[in-house]
Each structure stands twice: as C-alpha cells, then as structure tokens.
Amino acid sequence: MTILTHTRSPGLLPPRTVVVGAAGFVGHAVANRIAARGGDVVGLARAQIDLGADTATDRLVGQLRPKDTVIISAVKVPCRTPDMVVHNLAMMARITNALRARPVDHVVYVSSDAVYADSSVPLTESSLKGPDNLYGIMQLTRELMLRDVVPTAGLTFVRPTMIYGAADPHGGYGPNQYRRLAAASKDIILFGEGEERRDHVFIDDVAEIIARIVEQRSVGALNVASGAVHSFRAIAEQIAELYGNKVKVIGTKRSGPMPHGGYRPFDISAIGLAFPDLKMTQLPDGIARVHREIAER
C-alpha cells in the first residue's frame, strides 16, 4: 500500500465512527479523541461483542452501517504462542466476515511496526515486510486478511512502534514497566545492559494521528513513531530520576541476542508530509508528561 493519501478536507468527520476494541489502551484513547472533536462514536468492547465467540460476526454485522468508518484496535496480547496467533486470526476472521457481509466506507486497522523485517537503516512505509516473530507474523496476516475484503480505496494501516502512556494496562518492558516498578519502589532490571535502542511513541500522538486519518478519510499506510531512538538504559535512568533515584537500574547477563539487532529506527517523513503541523512528542518529554499525569490523579 502507498503512504497516506487524504480523500476528504480537514474538519469533516464521518457520520459515525465505530471503534472495535474501544476498551483497550489505543481504542479508548482514539474514541475519546474523536468524540472530543464532535464525532459520533460507537465503542464496541468485549462486553458488547466478544470477538472470540462464534456469534461475533452476526453481532458486528448488526452494528455496521454503509457510511461508517470502522477502527479496528482489538488484539489479544501478548501473542507469543501458536495458540495465541490462531486466536487473534480467528478474531480477525470474524471481523472480515462481517465487513464482507456489510461493507463500510472506511476501515482503519491499528497494526504494528512488527510487520517489518529488521533493517540497519530507518524504516519507512515501503520497507520490506518480513517479521521474524509470531506477533509480527500475526499482524501481517491480519493486514492481508483485511486487504482481501476491503477495497484499497477505503483501507488504512496504522503501524505504531512501542506505545507508552499513563493508561497502559500491560506494563510491557520499557517505559510502561519501568514506571510501574519505580512507583512501587522496586529496582528496574534491564535485559543485558539495556543497550538496545528503540523508538517509542506517546499514546496521545497515536490517538491524534488516527483521529486526523478518520477526519480526512486518509487511506494507505502510515508508520507512527517519534523519529528518535533511545537506549532502554537511558529510559530507565530518566524514570528513576523522576522518582528521586530511590530505585536502582540494574543490568543483567543477556541470555540471547538483542531483538532487532539492538537498533530499530524510523524515518517519519511521511507523518510530516501528511500532517505538516504535527510535532511528534519526543520520549524524554513524553515520559515527563506521563509522570505529571499520574502525580495529578
């Protein structure tokens, strides 16, 4: 798929936006952002439709209208076993069956940067797709399942890198886990010395970009990243400092190779072309914002 192409002027939201996975970290943030713009949002979480159940297709068909924009942000994680891959693909099969039976105007799928092969140069939307892990294989297969059902003129893939934010429910390795450990006065334990460098993206930026995609009916593909890489040790040390350096950052002996060869950069020029006024939050600023948000609760 090509990089993002706008098919509608800014400020013109669709009649309705249906968010599948509205109770999740990303789905909830996106639903709130679109609603704040005045959009009519229908949030579908497991309480409304259990995508793991055989009845999900018929229930979803009953919710859809031809002029809807549908955001798909429902995924079961972590996806590290073959059984979890099968479960996630079955969920998508029920969604695609519903979209085949009841086509809609625009589908936005929140995928992942995991679909790309490793690269020594910054990744772009045209980089080679070649995941070497089950999660990436699952996400790429889900994209292909959607491409088989939804016309290219109405399909968007959003591929964020590692997302962090105050409302993250998973606590995966990185800023989200480190914050939880420091808040609980527990030392931050690194994989190896935390020397691998990755790009992390702030949830507010992800929600804002998806809201703009919905607003402008943008189609194609877009990677969502900050454009800068930071070592995990540097991230841990910043978080420890925010908590008064009351916890230690401890390295360990690495038991296997570093994921992605220890380096996963992104070229975010496509974001600049699509949304010239949007400035991506840089990781040190984002971590500080998350810390303030939690302190103010």
**Calpha distance 139→131 (Å, rounded):** 9
Strands 230-231 and 197-198: antiparallel
Q: With contact defined as beta carbons under 8 Å apart, do 79 and 134 qualify? A: yes
Q: How far is it, in rounded angstroms, from Cα 169 to Cα 166?
A: 9
Q: Of 85, 109, 100, 92, nearest to 18 (Cα)?
A: 109
For the chain, domains (ranges, CATH) are: 17-166+202-227+265-280 (3.40.50.720)
The yes-or-no verdict on residue 287 having pLDDT over 90 is yes
Rounded to whole angstroms, the Cα distance separating 50 from 21 reads 10
Q: How far apart, in whole angstroms, are the C-alpha atoms of residue 91 and residue 99? A: 13
| Model pLDDT, residue 1 | 61
Averaged pLDDT of the chain: 95
Cα maximum dimension of the chain = 57
DSSP category for residue 41: E
> What residues contact 77, with CB distance under 8 A and at least 6 apart?
135, 170
Q: Which two tokens stand for residue 1?
A: 């798929």
Per-residue pLDDT, averaged over 110-125, amounts to 95
Q: How far apart are CA 32 and CA 143, in angstroms?
A: 25
State mean pLDDT over 230-234: 97
Q: Where are the alpha helices (DSSP H) in the chain?
A: 25-36, 56-61, 82-101, 134-147, 175-183, 203-215, 232-242, 269-274, 283-295
Rounded Cα gap, residues 147 and 19, in angstroms: 19
pLDDT band, residue 189 (cuts 50/70/90): very high
Number of H helices, E strands in the chain: 9, 13
Q: What per-residue string of b and e applies to 11-23 under the rule 16 or more CB within 10 Å gives b?
A: eebbebbbbbbbb
> Average pLDDT in the 33-59 region?
95
Mean pLDDT of 242-255: 92
Q: Quick one: CA dihedral 76, 283, 130, 157, positive or negative? A: positive
